[in-house]
Amino acid sequence: MNKAIDLEAKYCAHNYHPLPVVLTHGEGAFVWDEDGKKYLDMMSAYSAVSHGHAHPRLVKLVQQQVANLNIVSRAFYTDRLGPFLKRACELTGQDMALPMNTGAEAVETAIKAARKWAYTVKGVPEGKAEIIGMSGNFHGRTIAIVAMSDEPQYQHGFGPFPPGFRIADYGDIKSLKRSINENTAAVIIEPIQGEGGIIMPPYGYLKAVRALCERHNVLMIADEIQTGLGRTGKLLACDHEDVLPDGLILGKALGGGVLPVSMFLAKREVMEVFRPGDHGSTFGGNPLGASVGLEALNILVDEGLADRSARLGEHLIGRLATIDSPLIKDIRGRGLFIGIEIDSRYGRARSVCEALMARGLLSKETHETVVRLAPPLIIGEAEVNWAFEQIRDVIAEMDEIRMAS
Ligand SMILES: *Cc1c(COP(=O)(O)O)cnc(C)c1O
């Protein structure tokens, strides 16, 4: 029995099923447990820790800012928010931003912006606006967001849900075309579905979505909370197809692995639907979060983390592709955003993650069959090679056990 695990079991809601490891320290691509055992973090908090744990520039900056000014709410201006949002807009090609804290809040912000844009700009009759989400989507856990999900567990027991959402088949442009009507406000889309199992739509799909949205005067809103900020080998996953969405949602790595920092960005015509009092957040845009967010963006650029993700991701996918085992059904990904799909006839993704953990490599299964590899983007090539060897050996061991039984 472990004390920390027992306390969480007793006092923390059981809404997660963690791997049995108790972490106490993190530095760069590594974390340590309470016995001092070192692990390579190939999970990086669902991509929130792209900069690595305790990035020295972020630690230094937080120490300075925390002693200076942290929270004032947006009842006042601060010297930190403007420079952060300017940088975010310039890097992403958007005009304006609305700062929030968690990803789900930024998605909610996007939904509200899209609806109000539909009523005030597009001319959709009040109460009729529709938002199209994709099959297999993940955008967070609020009531409105799970209303847009087609995953039964995300909804079961939590209804009733707000209306106004539709689902189109992810990766199928004809399905999206059929779902659009005169009341459609927006399409919300992940360029690669992370929680869905590292699902990549066919190349050209994002461009086709962009064109279709333009033709029907529908907003294309990209949820890049997980895929954004270098994760897939470009600053944004939409950049792989040179697509500029009308709205963009960022979170996770925007907080540099230190704080929850998120935002909805959009072209001016969309963001200008918000008037004082329409929407807000006590903590959104606070000077501490804004400083961290700006530094997180600067580090991404200064350290070339997107290019590094592209190079090391290609290298790792190439090596993983050499593993010859019936256990592996598919290997896919872009940059350091990789899924290993386990054939459920031969094994479970969770068992692979447990075996990797015993060897000092942390990852997490998603959707029961996919092992997700998304390490901090500052990871070194030697660590990537070490990770490959652990995965290769775990798969070989599991193959041997299966053959023997
Ligand atoms: C994690 C995630 C969210 C939700 O972010 P939270 O900070 O957990 O609320 C939304 N969309 C995508 C694509 C995500 O990966």
- Note down pLDDT in tens along the chain; length 405 residues: 799 999 999 999 999 999 999 999 999 999 999 999 999 999 999 999 999 999 999 999 999 999 999 999 999 999 999 999 999 999 999 999 999 999 999 999 999 999 999 999 999 999 999 999 999 999 999 999 999 999 999 999 999 999 999 999 999 999 999 999 999 999 999 999 999 999 999 999 999 999 999 999 999 999 999 999 999 999 999 999 999 999 999 999 999 999 999 999 999 999 999 999 999 999 999 999 999 999 999 999 999 999 999 999 999 999 999 999 999 999 999 999 999 999 999 999 999 999 999 999 999 998 889 999 999 999 999 999 999 999 999 999 999 998 888
Q: Contact 378/30 with Cβ under 8 angstroms? A: no
Q: Contact 51/308 with Cβ under 8 angstroms? A: no
Which residues make Cβ contacts (< 8 Å) with residue 259, sequence separation at least 6?
288, 289, 292
Q: 252 catalytic, yes or no?
A: yes
Q: Contact 257/49 with Cβ under 8 angstroms? A: yes
Q: Contact 227/251 with Cβ under 8 angstroms? A: no
Distance CA 149, CA 136 (A): 7
Three-state DSSP at 180 gives coil
Alpha-helix residue ranges (DSSP H) falling in 12-102: 44-47, 56-66, 81-92
Ligand 1 contacts CB of residue 116 (under 6 A): no
How much is the pLDDT for 403?
Answer: 87
- For the chain, state the CA radius of gyration: 21
Superfamily of domain 3-55+304-404 in the CATH hierarchy: Aspartate Aminotransferase, domain 1 (3.90.1150.10)
Residues 33, 41, 223, 399: which is the catalytic one?
A: 223
> Residue for token digits 């070490």?
386
Ligand 1 contacts CB of residue 94 (under 6 A): no
Q: 246 catalytic, yes or no?
A: no
Q: Residue 342: what residue type?
A: I
For domain 56-302, the CATH class is: alpha beta
How much is the pLDDT for 218?
Answer: 98
Which atom of ligand 1 is nearest the CA belonging to 104? 9
Nearest to 226 by CA among 131, 143, 339, 318: 339
Q: Residue 345: what residue type?
A: R
**CA 289 to each of CA 105, 258, 405: distance values in angstroms, whole numbers, following the listed order:** 15, 9, 54
Q: From start to end of 129-246, where are the E strands?
A: 130-134, 165-168, 184-189, 219-223
How much is the pLDDT for 1?
Answer: 75
Distance 104 CA to ligand 1 centre (A): 6
Domain boundaries, the chain: 3-55+304-404, 56-302
Ligand 1 contacts CB of residue 226 (under 6 A): yes
Q: Contact 383/27 with Cβ under 8 angstroms? A: no
Ligand 1 contacts CB of residue 107 (under 6 A): yes
Residues 116, 122, 234, 252: which is the catalytic one?
A: 252
Alpha carbon of residue 16 to chain centroid? 18
Q: Contact 256/299 with Cβ under 8 angstroms? A: yes
Q: Contact 335/356 with Cβ under 8 angstroms? A: no
Report residue 204: phi and psi, to 5°.
100, -15
Q: Count of H helices and E strands in the chain?
A: 14, 15
Which atom of ligand 1 is nearest the CA belonging to 145? 10
Q: Contact 158/152 with Cβ under 8 angstroms? A: no
Q: Label residue 18 exposed, middle or buried (CB < 10 Å: 0-12, 13-18, 19+).
A: exposed
Nearest to 356 by CA among 314, 402, 320, 388: 388
Q: Residue 125: what residue type?
A: P
Distance CA 88, CA 156 (A): 37
Distance 213 CA to ligand 1 centre (A): 23
How much is the pLDDT for 161?
Answer: 97
Alpha-helix residue ranges (DSSP H) falling in 231-380: 268-271, 287-302, 305-320, 349-358
**CA 217 to each of CA 158, 187, 208, 271: distance values in angstroms, whole numbers, following the listed order:** 33, 11, 14, 16
Q: Is the pTM of this model over 0.85?
A: yes
